[in-house]
Amino acid sequence: MPRRHSDQRSDRERSEILNRYAQRLVHRGGERELHWYRRAAQADPSWAAPWFNLGLAHKYRGEWAESLQANRAALERQGDHAGACWNLGIAATALSDWSSAREAWRKYGVGLPEGEGPIEAELGAVALRIDLDGSGEVVWGTRIDPARARILNVPLPDSGHRYHDIVLHDGAVQGTRKLQGHEYPVFNALGLWQASAYATYEALIETAAPDTLAALVERVRESGGQVEDWTHTVRYLCQACSEAEQEHEHPQEPAAHTRFHLGIAATDAARLRGVLDDWLSAHPQARLLEFSRAFPADVTP
């Protein structure tokens, strides 16, 4: 805890000491960080910083009502605090408090379509880091509004996410990814906002004619699903590369040429199995070695 001194300090100086002490507790978890931010806020009731930091701590704990309240308090003390404004928007979105979310985004300067309910802005492509405690998997999505995005890949099952999940994401850029020559920011997911109706299935297929997989992909998509060739699209990066703008070289394992590990998103297992059987009948040189449901639909991680 902060040392006591007999000299006289201003309210701001005392608050700064307590605020710095709370910041040193960030990685320890528990309630102590929150306690000392509250003490810092009490020491100088006019200072926005401890309220912003309190809102930040609640954000990363997924305590959205508390985060909204703290960021609103920061803005009451400093109306142009951009970080508090953005985090208020995230917290309000998590709570489906659309009037507060719209107020925050407009105050920040984000142009939004007119309306009063849920925001459907379609802000373009984005890369999302969805498995922060595991592999740090990054997938592509499309932004619905400044704090939500819909996943467009078929994520690995261990990520706890699936195709078309809507995730809440942070506003701090954590690296970049390139797609078709364009560079996009990577944002860390903060949690599942809405689970999709798609389950994730795994299929291990052996074929000496990999070009025929294009026909399978087309059949699955025509049935309303999606396919990801995890054999070739999954690439493992070190943390430094994953969170940086440029990557350094990593040795790559040679790709298999006859066995393909597919992730398939579908809403109807029987229909998907029928699509697979039809494709196998049309391509007798191919074999389905393994098939299973890897992650169910509509389950919150």
Q: What is the mean pLDDT of the chain?
A: 90
Residues 175 and 250 in one domain: no
Dist CA 149 CA 125 (whole Å): 9
Final residue in a domain of this structure, among 194, 228, 251: 194
Residue 1 forms part of a structural domain: no
Judge whether residue 162 has pLDDT over 50: yes
Range of the domain at 56: 11-108
Q: Which residues of 66-87 are buried (b: 16+ CB within 10 A; e: fewer)?
A: bbbbbbbbbbebbeebebbbbb
The residues, any chain, with a CB within 8 Å of residue 190's CB and separated by 6 or more, are 59, 60, 62, 90, 94, 167, 168, 169, 170
Number of structural domains in the chain: 3
Q: What is the token pair recorded at 84?
A: 């508090």
Residue 64 forms part of a structural domain: yes
Residue 161's Cβ-side half-sphere holds a number of Cα atoms within 13 Å equal to: 33
Judge whether residue 174 has pLDDT over 70: yes
Q: What integer pLDDT is reported at residue 29 of this predicted model?
A: 73
Residue 234 forms part of a structural domain: yes
Residues 204 and 168 in one domain: no
Q: What order do you get walking across the sheet with 259-266 strand by strand?
A: 226-229, 259-266, 199-206, 287-295
Q: What is the token pair recorded at 98?
A: 């659309």
Residues 208 and 271 in one domain: yes
Residues 139 and 76 in one domain: no
Best CA proximity match to 219, nearest among 162, 164, 165, 277: 277
Q: What is the token pair recorded at 145?
A: 């509004």
Residues 95 and 137 in one domain: no
Dist CA 133 CA 161 (whole Å): 13
Residue 116 forms part of a structural domain: no
Q: What integer pLDDT is reported at residue 249 of this predicted model?
A: 56
Residues 273 and 215 in one domain: yes
Residue 4 forms part of a structural domain: no
Residues 96 and 149 in one domain: no
Final residue in a domain of this structure, among 194, 224, 254: 194
CATH number for the domain that contains residue 44: 1.25.40.10
Residue 115 forms part of a structural domain: no
Straight-line distance from the first to the last Cα atom of the chain, in angstroms, rounded to the nearest whole number = 36
Q: What integer pLDDT is reported at residue 97 of this predicted model?
A: 98
Q: What is the token pair recorded at 90?
A: 């995230």
Dist CA 95 CA 69 (whole Å): 12
Residue 275 forms part of a structural domain: yes
Q: What is the token pair recorded at 18?
A: 């307590």
Q: How far is CA 163 from CA 2, 14, 58, 188, 196, in A?
A: 48, 49, 28, 17, 7
Q: What integer pLDDT is reported at residue 30 of this predicted model?
A: 79
Kindly indicate the confidence band of residue 237, based on its pLDDT and cuts at 50, 70 and 90.
Answer: very low
Kindly indicate the confidence band of residue 22, based on its pLDDT and cuts at 50, 70 and 90.
Answer: very high
Dist CA 98 CA 88 (whole Å): 11
What pTM does this model have?
Answer: 0.87
Residues 37 and 100 in one domain: yes
Residues 22 and 89 in one domain: yes
Residues 212 and 180 in one domain: no
In this prediction, what percent of the chain has a pLDDT beyond 70? 88
Judge whether residue 7 has pLDDT over 50: yes
Residues 88 and 128 in one domain: no
247-300 pLDDT, tens digit per residue, is: 545 455 555 468 999 999 999 999 999 999 999 999 999 999 999 999 999 766
Residue 30 forms part of a structural domain: yes
Judge whether residue 212 has pLDDT over 80: yes
Dist CA 63 CA 181 (whole Å): 38
Residues 179 and 234 in one domain: no
Final residue in a domain of this structure, among 108, 134, 151: 108
